[in-house]
Structure 1
Amino acid sequence: MKSNIFKNLPTDLTDEHFQDLLKTPNVRIERVVSHGNNSPTVGWYDQNEDEWVMVLQGEGWLEFTGGREVRLQVGDFIHIPAHTQHKVSHTQADGITVWLAVFFS
């Protein structure tokens, strides 16, 4: 079935919006839409699978334990190995940020 990642974007973005686009036993592809959001202040993401993430629209900053921060703009992508603790420190406040995340093991 054909679809478009920019269609049906959520309008209530007080929190980040997560939508699985594809889910199999070994791969999950997710669209994340943010608007000035950051990760919950309680804890860090510590995932069992690797994550490859790309910014399709807007921009966002990822923070890793130890204080390293990476700014991602349109077209930028990064591979985050499993159990690499990280969080979104902030995203663009004057527009939306659309992320494409691929989780795999």
Structure 2
Amino acid sequence: MTAPEARRLDDVTGWNGSAEFVEVLHRGAGTAIERIVSQGHTTDWCDQDHDEWVLVHEGAARLELVEGRTLDLVAGQYVLLPARCRHRVVWTEQLTVWVTVHFPAVGGG
């Protein structure tokens, strides 16, 4: 067994910032926990077969939903994106730290 170790969500030593930083912190039983660090990055449209809980830990971001609605998130805010909720990141502050939890959709997606 690996001994527990405290780490910082914003520590990305050695990352050059050219692409979004994504690290899987834990994976098991159909669930994945990730930390993501964005530096003004945006994403393509996402259409997932699972639910995703998204927290902005530091910074700010704007998500666009397929119907044209936007969600502005600042540090401490979160959103639950159900399976098949098409979305994309259209803006982030220069340093935005996210925590995401991916888990099976209620009802199977």
| Unmatched segments (≥5 aa) in structure 2 | 105-109
- 1:6-55: CA deviations, max 9, x gaps? 35315311211110000003210000000011003xxx101111000000
Query: For the pair shown, which has the larger CA radius of gyration, 1 or 2?
Result: 2
Report the secondary structure of 2:85's partner residue.
Answer: coil
Distance in 2 separating the partners of 1:20 and 1:51? 14
Query: Normalising by the residue count of structure 2, what TM-score does the alignment of the two structures yield?
Result: 0.85
> 1:1-105 to 2 correspondence within 5 Å?
1-6=4-9, 8-10=11-13, 11-40=15-44, 44-93=45-94, 96-105=95-104
| Deviating 4+ runs (over 3 angstroms) | none
Seen in structure 2, the aligned counterparts of structure 1 residues 7 and 89 have a Cα distance that, compared at 3 Å, is: closer
Query: Normalising by the residue count of structure 1, what TM-score does the alignment of the two structures yield?
Result: 0.88
Measured after TM superposition, the shift of residue 3 of structure 1 is 2.8
Distance in 2 separating the partners of 1:104 and 1:67? 25
* RMSD of aligned residue pairs (Cα, Å): 1.3
Question: Identity over aligned residues, as a percent?
Answer: 33
Report the secondary structure of 1:13's partner residue.
Answer: coil
Distance in 1 separating the partners of 2:12 and 2:59? 14
The one-letter amino acid paired with 1:16 is E
Equivalent pairs, count: 100
